[in-house]
Amino acid sequence: MTSENHEESMRHLAAQIAAADMAYYQHDAPIMDDAEYDRLRQAWQRHERDHPLLAAAIMPEGENPSARIGAVAARGFKKKTHRQPMLSLDNGFADGDVAAFFKSVRDYLRRDFAADPDLALEIVAEPKIDGLSCSLTYANGQLVAAATRGDGQIGEDILANCLTIADIPPQLHNAGTPPPDLIEIRGEIYFLIADFLALNQSRIAAGEPQFANPRNAAAGSVRQLDCSVTAARPLKFFAYAVGAVEDKNGKAITVPLTPTHWQFLDLLQKWGLPVNPLKKLCHNEDQVLAFYHQIDSDRKNLGYDIDGVVYKVNRFDWQQRLGFAARAPRWALAHKFAAEQGETTLNAISIQVGRTGALTPVAELQPINIGGVIVSRASLHNPDEIARKDIRVGDTVRVQRAGDVIPQIVRVVVEKRIANTPPYEFPSLCPECGSEARREGGEAVMRCTGGLVCPAQAVERLRHFVSRDGVNIEGMGEKHIQNFYQDGLIRTPADIFRLARRRDELLQREGWGQKSVDNLLSEIEQRRLVPLDRFIYALGIRQIGQATAKLLSHHYGDFLHLQNEMLAAANVDSDAYANLVRINQIGTAIAADLVAFFAEPHNRAVVADLLGEINLVGGAAAAVISDSPLAGKTMVFTGELDKMTRREAKALAESQGAKVVDSVSKNTDYVVVGRDAGSKAEKAAALHIKILREDEFLAMTNNHVQAPND
């Protein structure tokens, strides 16, 4: 499968997961069962495991499905902005992933380990609780706010509900070390399995639907507008991390409260917060793995659900230096438990059509219980995967859930195959529009050639446009877009912003009252101001994920400038093309898709129509620190630095809003040079570009160091 196919599959999966999260967490109206949702999660994580760089490039920070628990705050709850984002963790599924984690940390901090070969890499290992993540804010020791993770930036205000949970103290103890003026404490709300079973029994007796698992029960119990419902349920809580810390003037405190994470957990306990007693301070990789396998063998006796073990670098100063990659901290890893398997029957193979016409086969399975979850579907990826495993309708198949969540077909149990079962023939026509389906230039995926005449592609493009990572229009879920499209209310993105002119038609639709119509139109109106990077992503250009959209936004600064440059870049010998492929992480394949999109007159017409309905703002990367002297600057690093590795220095520069590129040009603002700088320093001098020594560069960072987070 080519990188373009992986990109398309990952985008499609992310959009489906976001839609499911919105339906379940906001509207309490799931659009799929738990098994289907878990299948999507596992498919995403499989792509992420196999292509980590691509995953980080297209879905950075909290935008990655692996980083998201729930969705943006629902209208029924007040919204609460986290002072420091609640990000996710990278996942590991095998012992080798743990070895890679240790190696990556040692490589990043190699100067420290080179200076002291006996230096230990201490890791705190904690069971990964399968519950609802939340953030508690204490001011002067008093609980003043509580929020769900939400989308990582904004969660739901659940203070009233958290005040009913016995494990969460309304006032922190002052046991020797007083809490700071303000602190965010992160943790997990969960159910004991015995309490969960009792809750389901009471719901059965009352004629109410059962919760699928303890995690869903915890989420459903906390997300109650009536806090008396939450109070009646025996929820538990474990604290495990710190968020923002501020002084009495609201200024961020970046110096850790304790030298190590292990000491911080002890401090949490002194303040009266429960911490998992099974935590362990490990001094090497062998101890980490021994703890993991011990917890794995004991987990059925713990009394609560866990789905892995979390590893965190113990030293906070190292955590700060390691910082964050595109979407997760470099200093932590979630080591998921191994897959559980079972056998079932493949009843049928259905075909889903994606936004760019990709035909994705899906196995429809006889439902089977694997590790407490009913699995009924699994992705088959593409025709080659079906042929490679010789999967046929009616086969008995071996299914597994990796990381305790995600289903996939491992193999066919050939000895149980019914005689004369015919091989599966992949359709040559699109099931949505009947157009020819074919492969493009060596791709593994089959694509519908119907383009805009294919309703599935049109609807998927519109869904992508309004998605949380795009223009982010709440209330425009898959069902509504499908219905609006079928009934001719919308055909292009611009039509969405013209729906206010069709208010009377909306009011006549079944299920649409005055309040729901007004809420939708109000939400649309609020989205007329669109950040440039979100707009670029929302256009649905192949291979353009969040990270690439931000790079383009930052580099070109203005959409019309970007469009004109892409038109000029159709000539691969032009300066415009050379400038495009010079951008970090943009190669010839991505450049080809960008140029092809803008070369199509229909696309330019759709965009021009859309620009008549909205206003674009901003062109800088999201992470820019406005008061940093490096914000918006283009930088090159060359030579061997003394106080940090080049990789560490580049990450620091980017955290200050700088754009780091690999080659020196007239557009470069600064070149940071170390020992043996070579030709890049010479070229910078020839172009009269400002050359910085390492100490000068560090002084310019102005001590903007991101505090530890989880």
Catalytic residues: 128
DSSP conformation letters of 220-240 = HHHS-SSHHHHHTS--EEEEE
Check: CB of residue 126 under 8 Å from CB of residue 288.
no
CA distances from 316 to 278, 702, 709 (A): 21, 20, 10
Rounded CA separation 649/656 (Å)? 11
Counted residue by residue, the chain has a size of: 710
Q: For residue 197, what are the contacts with CB-CB under 8 A and spacing of at least 6?
A: none
Rg (CA), the chain: 26
Check: CB of residue 696 under 8 Å from CB of residue 671.
no
CA distances from 226 to 144, 158, 200, 230 (A): 19, 11, 19, 7
Q: What is the DSSP letter of 114?
A: H
Nearest to 93 by CA among 437, 426, 392, 333: 333
Check: CB of residue 321 under 8 Å from CB of residue 647.
no
Tokens of 538: 């929302």
Check: CB of residue 664 under 8 Å from CB of residue 637.
no
DSSP conformation letters of 632-659 = T-EEEEESB-SSS-HHHHHHHHHHTT-E
Within 10 angstroms of residue 342's Cβ, the number of other Cβ atoms is 16
Q: For residue 462, what are the contacts with CB-CB under 8 A and spacing of at least 6?
A: 481, 485, 490, 493, 496
Residue 551's H or E segment, with its range, is helix 546-556
3-class SS of residue 164? coil
DSSP conformation letters of 323-349 = -B-SSSBTTEEEEEPPPEEEEEEEEEE
Residue 8's H or E segment, with its range, is helix 3-21
Nearest to 552 by CA among 519, 491, 598: 598
Within 10 angstroms of residue 244's Cβ, the number of other Cβ atoms is 18
- Residue that is written with structure tokens 């070969």 in the block: 117
- Report the phi/psi class of residue 70: left, alpha or beta, with left for phi > 0 and alpha for psi in -120 to 50: left
Dihedral angle sign, alpha carbons of residues 408, 410, 416, 418: positive
Q: Which amino acid is at 520?
A: L
Q: What is the DSSP letter of 491?
A: S
